[in-house]
Chain A
Amino acid sequence: NAGVTQTPKFQVLKTGQSMTLQCAQDMNHNSMYWYRQDPGMGLRLIYYSASEGTTDKGEVPNGYNVSRLNKREFSLRLESAAPSQTSVYFCASKFRGRLAGGKTANEQFFGPGTRLTVL
C-alpha cells in the first residue's frame, strides 16, 4: 500500500515552460486535492476533486489546471510557468463518506511533495 505518490520529486523550469505534476493514490479515496506550500503561508488549496469526474477551484487556482484522470489519479498542469509558482506542491486524498461506526471520514492523506523552481 503506497498511499499517495507524486512525481517528480524535484523539477526546475524556465519561465514560460509547461509541465504536469502527477499524483496517484491506492486507498480508493473519492476526494483528491492539490496544495502549494510557501514559507509563512501554510498550505493553500489550488484545486480539488470531490469525486471522480468533478474538479473545482480552491483558494489560489490562477495559472493552474487539473485533470481527474480516474479515481486513482489527479494531475496538476502549469501551462506557462512563472517564478511566482516556485513552491512545494502537495497532493492529498480523502475518503468521502462515513466510516464504520457512522463517523464522517475527515483525514486527508498527503504525498511526499514536489519541489518546483521556476527560473
Chain B
Amino acid sequence: QQQVKQSPQSLIVQKGGISIINCAYENTAFDYFPWYQQFPGKGPALLIAIRPDVSEKKEGRFTISFNKSAKQFSLHIMDSQPGDSATYFCAAPGGTGANNLFFGTGTRLTVIP
C-alpha cells in the first residue's frame, strides 16, 4: 500500500509569485511520482512526473523537487498565472506491481490577478 500526505489544502498566490505544494509518501519501493492538475468540471490530467534517480525535473514554469531520504517531493510553479488556478494532486505508486496510484488529498490553488 501507499500513504500520501499533501499540503497545504488551499493556496492563494499573487500573479507572478511562486506556488509551492508539498507531498510526503511512505513506501519507497517505487520509482514514479507524478503531479496531476484538475480544472473545475474536468478529470485530472498529468502535469509533470519525476523518477527518483534525479532530484529535480523542470518543464517550463513547473518544477518537481525530489528528496528521497526525506520521502518528500514538491511542486513549484514559477511566475504563477491566473490560468494555473486549479486543484493539484500528488500521487505515488503502489499495489500489485505498482500498477496503481495513491493520490494526495489535493491543493486548491488560486492565483489572484
- Taking Cβ atoms with an 8 Å cutoff, the residues of A that contact B are 4, 31, 33, 35, 40-45, 48, 50, 56, 58-59, 90, 92, 94, 96, 104, 106-113
Q: A41-B105, A48-B100 are in contact. Are A107 and B43 (CB under 8 A)?
A: no
With a cutoff of 8 Å between Cβ atoms, the chain B residues found around residue A35 in the complex are: 103
Having A4-B43, A42-B89, one finds 19 other A-B pairs with CB under 8 Å, namely A31-B99, A40-B106, A41-B105, A42-B6, A42-B103, A45-B100, A48-B95, A48-B99, A50-B97, A50-B99, A90-B44, A94-B99, A104-B31, A106-B34, A106-B93, A107-B46, A108-B46, A111-B43, A112-B43
With a cutoff of 8 Å between Cβ atoms, the chain B residues found around residue A41 in the complex are: 105
Inter-subunit contact A106/B103 (CB<8 Å): no
Could you tell me the dominant secondary structure of chain A's interface residues?
strand
CB distance from B39 to the nearest CB of A (A): 11
Separation of A94 and B32 alpha carbons in the complex (Å) = 14
Interface size on B, residues (CB 8 A): 25
Separation of A59 and B44 alpha carbons in the complex (Å) = 19
With a cutoff of 8 Å between Cβ atoms, the chain A residues found around residue B44 in the complex are: 43, 90, 110
Inter-subunit contact A107/B49 (CB<8 Å): yes
Q: A33-B100, A112-B42 are in contact. Are A40 and B49 (CB under 8 A)?
A: no
Q: Enumerate B78-108 residues with CB–CB distance to A below 8 Å.
A: 89, 93, 95-97, 99-106
Q: A43-B89, A90-B43 are in contact. Are A108 and B9 (CB under 8 A)?
A: no
Inter-subunit contact A40/B105 (CB<8 Å): yes
0/1 string, B9-51, CB within 8 A of A gives 1: 1000000000000000000000110100000011111100100
